[in-house]
Chain A
Amino acid sequence: DAGVIQSPRHEVTEMGQEVTLRCKPISGHNSLFWYRQTMMRGLELLIYFNNNVPIDDSGMPEDRFSAKMPNASFSTLKIQPSEPRDSAVYFCASSLARTGDYEQYFGPGTRLTVT
């Protein structure tokens, strides 16, 4: 079975540009998570969805960040406009969220560099 798929794997953009990160969760999983990892702040949860509905977006840094999950097999994280401090590795993870099956499976990450 394919794991979580993220694209692109690397993104380099200039400050002020719009960036869209994409994620395809594991088929059958009903929860999807977006994380950001930096040296300074470690692994931070930005937002998570359950059955395509955003449940907790308290980790989204500011209004420049938005996330959508239009269907069970696709999610996007958008940054508009991007800033150098947004440079980080962004991970998408999915889980089954069934009692006893809470482990999250992570995608390979998107390394974002904003110059």
Chain B
Amino acid sequence: AQKVTQAQTEISVVEKEDVTLDCVYETRDTTYYLFWYKQPPSGELVFLIRRNSFDEQNEISGRYSWNFQKSTSSFNFTITASQVVDSAVYFCALSELGGYGNKLVFGAGTILRVKS
């Protein structure tokens, strides 16, 4: 069965520090998709990125970068030069394919607190 583990329950950093959020997944599927979502204090869940299992290239978007390593079943998320507005709960998720294909399994989330 699919499983997503976010071992870091809570991380606190000072503004401008870099921070990496870990995500480890388990799946028997050969094709799958990984996602990161952000849940700021206002409560909504915001989609950040999707990565498919065939594409192991790292991705960078502004201060955000993602490192996908199939060999270690990890999909880590790094925020460079963190800002207070990055304070949120971050969820990693894995697609459960088959049938209609797009059920997501979410990790427990990591609370990120960025202090000024």
How many interface residues does chain B have, given as a range? 20 to 34
Query: What number of A-B contacts does a CB cutoff of 8 Å give?
Result: 51
Partner of A102, one of B43, B44, B45, B95: B95
Given contacts A48-B103, A102-B50, 7 further A-B contacts (CB under 8 A): A33-B103, A43-B91, A43-B106, A91-B45, A102-B102, A108-B43, A109-B43
Q: How far does the Cβ of A21 sit from chain B's closest Cβ, in whole Å?
A: 15
Residues of B23-74 contacting chain A, CB below 8 A: 33, 35, 37, 43-47, 50, 52
Q: Is the CB of A55 within 8 A of B106?
A: no
| 12 A-B pairs whose Cβ atoms sit less than 8 Å apart in the complex | A95-B102, A99-B101, A102-B33, A102-B95, A104-B47, A105-B47, A106-B45, A106-B47, A108-B43, A109-B43, A109-B44, A111-B43
- Evaluate whether A104 and B102 lie within 8 angstroms (CB atoms) in the complex, with A42-B108, A42-B109, A43-B91 already known: yes
Q: How far does the Cβ of A101 sit from chain B's closest Cβ, in whole Å?
A: 8
- Evaluate whether A31 and B100 lie within 8 angstroms (CB atoms) in the complex, with A43-B91, A43-B106 already known: yes
